[in-house]
Amino acid sequence: MTDKKPILLIALGGNALIQKGQTGTADQQFENLNLPMKQIAELSRKYRVVITHGNGPQVGNLLLQQESCDEVPKMPLEVIGAMTQGQIGYMIESSLDTALMEMGVDEEQDFVSLITYVVVDENDPAFQKPTKPIGPFYTEAEAAKLSYNLVKTDKGYRRVVASPKPVAIVECKEIKKLIDMDFIVICCGGGGIPVVRKERRFSGVEAVIDKDLASSVLAREINADIFIVASDVEGAAVDWGKPEQRLLRKVALPEIKEYVKAGHFPEGSMGPKVNAVIQFVESTGNRGIICNLDDIQKSVEGVAGTEICQ
C-alpha cells in the first residue's frame, strides 16, 4: 500500500505567508508560498511529506477585525485558530496543487489539508502565568473595560494568553494512515487548536500552542525521518547579533544543549525551534534541521541550514 518513501515533516514559519514589513494581503501570501511550495512539490517525489505552519499574524489580523466590530459576536481564540487553519490550509494546499500541476503529477499525488486540534493539560503551569501577547494594542481606557489578562507594553496594553505544552495531536491516528497511503498532509496549523479533555468531552481553551513544539510532537508520533523547521533565518547561530556570530552547520546533541544552557537561543525566536528539534532528535535519532524557507531542498541534501544529530 505504501511505497515506503522516507517521511519528511516541514514546519513552515509565519514568514512563509507574511514577510517582515508586509501587511499580508492575499496576493502577498500566495506569492510568498510559491518558492517553498515548489521545493516541497519536488521533494514529494522522494519523500512522503507532512506540512505544518504558523498562524501568528493571521490570528492577530482576525482579532483586530473582530475587536473593530460590535455587531458580530466575538469568537473565542480557539475558533479564530480554526479559521486560520482554514485560510492558511487552503493557501498552502492550492499553492502546492499549482506546483504539482506544473510538474504534471497533481493527478497521481493525493493531498489534503486537515483541521487539527491538540490536547493540552489544563494543569499546565502556563495557564497560571499567561505570557504570550496576541492581538491589538489597547489604550489604558480601553484596557480597563476588558476582561482579558493584559500586559503593559511600550505601545499600550496587550492581551496575553497561555502557551501550554502540546501533549497529543487528536487527529494523529488519521494523519498516520494518510501518510501510509502516501498523501501529502497539511495539518497542525498554528500549532493546532488547543483543547483540554474533561471526562468525555474536548473543550477549546483560550491559549496558543507553539507550532514548532506541536510539530515536534507530531514528527515523533509519525516517526518522521527528517524534521525541518523552516523560517526566515539561515539556521541556529551562537553569539547571535555579535561580531563573532557563527552559524552552526552540523551539531551534536550534547554540544547544542550546552549552547542552550549558555543562553545562545532567545526565548520567543530561536529557543523554541532549537528545543523542538532537540526533542525530536533525542527521541528518534533521526535528522532534525533548522533552515531558511529558500533552502529547504538544500538542507535536505545536507548543504544548508543547521542539522542537529545524535
Q: What are phi and psi of 262, to 5 degrees?
A: -80, 0
Which residue type, as a one-letter code, is found at position 49? V
Cell of 188: 497542525
Tell me the per-residue interface mask from 157 to 196 with its own copies, x by CB under 8 A, - otherwise: -------------xx-xx--x---x-x--x------x-x-
Neighbours of 67 (CB within 10 A): 15
255-to-80, 144, 145, 251 alpha-carbon distances in Å: 39, 48, 49, 7
Which residue type, as a one-letter code, is found at position 245? Q
Residue 273 known to be catalytic: yes
Which residue type, as a one-letter code, is found at position 103? M
What is the Cα–Cα distance from 28 to 22, expressed in whole angstroms? 8
Burial of 289 (0-12, 13-18, 19+ CB in 10 A): buried
Supply angle C-alpha 56, 226, 273, rounded to 5. 35
Q: Enumerate residues 193-252 that contact its own copies by CB under 8 A.
A: 193, 195, 200-202, 204
Residue 74 known to be catalytic: no
Is there a contact between 248 and 238 (Cβ–Cβ < 8 Å)? yes
Residue 177 known to be catalytic: no
Per CB under 8 A, does 94 bind its own copies?
yes
What is the Cα–Cα distance from 119 to 87, expressed in whole angstroms? 22
Residue 261 known to be catalytic: no
Question: Which element (helix H / strand E) includes 191?
Answer: none
Q: Could you tell me which stretch among 8-16, 74-82, 139-147, 243-251 binds its own copies (CB under 8 A)? A: 74-82
Taking CB under 8 A as the criterion, the residue among 2, 21, 71, 241 binding its own copies is 71
> CB of residue 30 vs its own copies: minimum separation in angstroms?
9
Supply angle C-alpha 233, 239, 241, rounded to 5. 60
Residue among 143 and 170 whose Cβ is closer to its own copies? 170
Tell me the per-residue interface mask from 123 to 162 with its own copies, x by CB under 8 A, - otherwise: ----------------------------------------
Taking CB under 8 A as the criterion, the residue among 47, 111, 227, 280 binding its own copies is 111
Per CB under 8 A, does 15 bind its own copies?
no
Q: Could you tell me which stretch among 86-94, 139-147, 229-237, 245-253 binds its own copies (CB under 8 A)? A: 86-94
Per CB under 8 A, does 84 bind its own copies?
yes
Q: Which residues bind its own copies (CB under 8 A)?
A: 23-26, 61-62, 64-66, 68-69, 71-73, 75-76, 78-79, 82-87, 89-91, 93-94, 97-98, 101-102, 110-115, 117, 170-171, 173-174, 177, 181, 183, 186, 193, 195, 200-202, 204
Which of the residues are catalytic? 14-15, 132, 211, 273
